[in-house]
A and B are shown apart, each in its own frame.
Chain A
Amino acid sequence: MKKLILWLALAGLASCSPGYHLTNRTASRIGVDSVTAPANASVARFLTPYRQGLEKTMNEVLTHSTGRIEKGQPDGPLNDILTDALLQQSIQRYGKPIDCSHLNFGGIRNNLPEGNITTGSVFEVMPFDNQLVVLTLTGDMLQQLLDHFSSGNKLVVGGMRAKLQNGKAQSVTFTNGRTLQPSETYTVVTSDYIADGGDNANFLKNAIKRETLNYLMRDALIDYFRQQGKTGQPLTPTSDGRISLN
């Protein structure tokens, strides 16, 4: 008898409760579109105020521009204004000086329009939820970063000027007056995506220090443009030629 009970237990049949067992299973994948189903009125009604609020948010006019602000290589008005904005907002958030800012060229997803610049415009430029990260680097590592992104003339930076030659950054000068010395340390604000080795920048994982600002890049840009709009002065698309080809 014991043997019998053991066998039943092994087969998973030991329970005294009757239970159920599966005799058939079928599956289907139902496409959700206007053909398969009309919108449920009550759910649609529930969404309406959220959508309207969203449109209101996305349509908030932050500032104005006298012309289209476009990205460019090796430099462009959009490159400059975005990196300057990120540097300024990051310094405010960090509460300490930061030497320079960096953006990956591919992360700039659209240009800013002429006329009204809305929250939606900024979402189109920066749809990703990238966090701002302050990296502390030796001069050597910063040079490596600049060289890495100079390849293909895709160096987008704020707080410095440089000349590109054969995919290397030369004649680097900082707006704050510092010079690039191999053994000194520098702070650079970039995205968590780059700080974590994105765009093949794996060497940045060896940074001396990595500090998250808990501040989305996009939020920093929205804050910057909103503040700028309050001055009443429209933006004028200009590039200061901080990055030039040698």
Chain B
Amino acid sequence: MDASASTRRQFLKLLGTAAVVGSVAPDIMAGSARPKTTMLTILHTNDVHSRLDPFPMDGSRNAGRGGVARRATLIQQIRQEQENVLLLDAGDIFQGTPYFNVYKGEPEILAMNQLGYDAGTIGNHDFDGGIDNMVTQFGKATFPLLIANYDFRNTVLDGKTKPYKVFTKDGIKVGVFGLGIKPEGLIPKDAYKETKYLDPIDIGNDMATRLRTEQKCDYVICLSHLGYKYDGPTVSDNVLAARTRNIDGIIGGHTHTFLDAPVTVNNADGQPIWINQVGFAGINLGRIDLTFERGKASMAGQSVEVK
């Protein structure tokens, strides 16, 4: 096969269709060459903090909200309606109710297995039971813990986590990778031991580029426990978004931020990417519905079509 001729054909096709895709495409193309549309639904939680039961009915602000059994019902309903669903968690699974004090994280992880989580990342409080406990509890997970910027080589967690995972849903390749917050000053050294923290911007760029180019991912998600936004130069999801390329969406945590809707930030290529975070304690379930069409384009509705 003549690769360059094929590329050229793609290019010519691109010139021919780019202008129409997006705005008026559906009507014009209806009937004959209408492109295949595929939906992907991302469901997400962050900072659930061992809140397995709903908040007690004690008159407090969150009384009666949350609860893993109700979340299970919602997720099940959405899975019945949608073919392609990814369920993700952005860290701080542990700590916050006596469940964690007594069971060290086991029911949290087993419940996430039952709900069918596809991946999670590691939050600072997930270290609260110590790094040995992380090995024990994460060992019970049927989903991978994704973290790209913690180097666990000199710890017992070595080899127990993955930097990223690529999910293929109805042909769509979704790359998911995890980023964690700087442990120093936040987590007791005795808990994180010899875990090395690597720069999330460098690693984020590297991961996303690899997922896009080597793994040919159509959509790249960063599961982040960096926090939504800070005063000053501390790395946050906002900083990460603006200073990287090839990340399409950031599912965040740590700051317990209740975003009404995803916030758009232009990345280093000027592409509008989404950051989302849905509070804490499982009070909310985040839902993002993505529509894809066959063919390559840069991203984010900038419809540039190649067949």
A17 to B168, CA, bound (A): 14
Task: Write the chain A residue with the least CB distance to B287.
Answer: A28
Chain B's nearest CB lies how many Å from the CB of A200?
16
Contact of B66 among A28, A32, A41, A50 (CB under 8 A): A32
Tell me the chain B residues, 72-96 only, with Cβ under 8 Å from chain A: 72-74, 76-77, 95
B45-79 CB mask vs A (1 if < 8 Å, else 0) is 00000001110000000001111111111101100
Task: Report chain B residues within 8 Å CB of A192.
Answer: 188
B283 touches A20 (CB 8 A): no
The answer on a CB contact under 8 Å between A43 and B69 is yes
**Pairwise interchain contact B296-A131, C-beta atoms closer than 8 A:** no
Q: Are B70 and A50 in contact (CB under 8 A)?
A: no
- Whether B6 lies near A37 (C-beta < 8 A) is no
Interchain CB contact under 8 A, B288 and A25: yes
Mark each residue of chain A from 194 to 229: 1 if its CB lies under 8 Å from any CB of chain B, else 0. Answer: 000000000000000000101000100000000000
Residue of A nearest to B130 (CB): A214
Contact B111 A43 (CB under 8 A): yes
Q: Is A15 an interface residue (CB 8 A)?
A: yes
Most buried by A among B70, B111, B294, B300: B70
Q: How far is the CA of A181 from the CA of B300 in the complex (A)?
A: 69
Interface residues of A (CB under 8 A from B): 1, 4-5, 8, 11-34, 36-44, 46-47, 50-51, 53-54, 57-58, 123, 129, 131, 192, 212, 214, 218
- Name B's A-contacting residues (CB within 8 A): 3-4, 6-8, 10-11, 14, 21-22, 37-38, 52-54, 64-74, 76-77, 95, 98-99, 101-103, 107, 110-111, 114-115, 128, 171-173, 188, 190, 212, 216, 218-219, 248, 259-262, 274, 276, 278, 282-301, 303-307
* 18 residue pairs A–B, Cβ–Cβ below 8 Å: A1-B8, A14-B7, A20-B219, A21-B297, A22-B290, A23-B21, A27-B288, A28-B287, A32-B66, A32-B285, A37-B73, A38-B70, A39-B73, A40-B69, A46-B107, A50-B99, A53-B103, A54-B103
Q: Which 5 A-B pairs have the closest CB atoms?
A: A21-B297, A39-B69, A40-B72, A24-B291, A20-B292
Given contacts A14-B7, A18-B307, A33-B65, 15 further A-B contacts (CB under 8 A): A13-B306, A20-B218, A20-B293, A20-B294, A21-B218, A22-B297, A23-B37, A23-B292, A27-B261, A27-B262, A32-B71, A39-B72, A43-B72, A51-B53, A54-B102
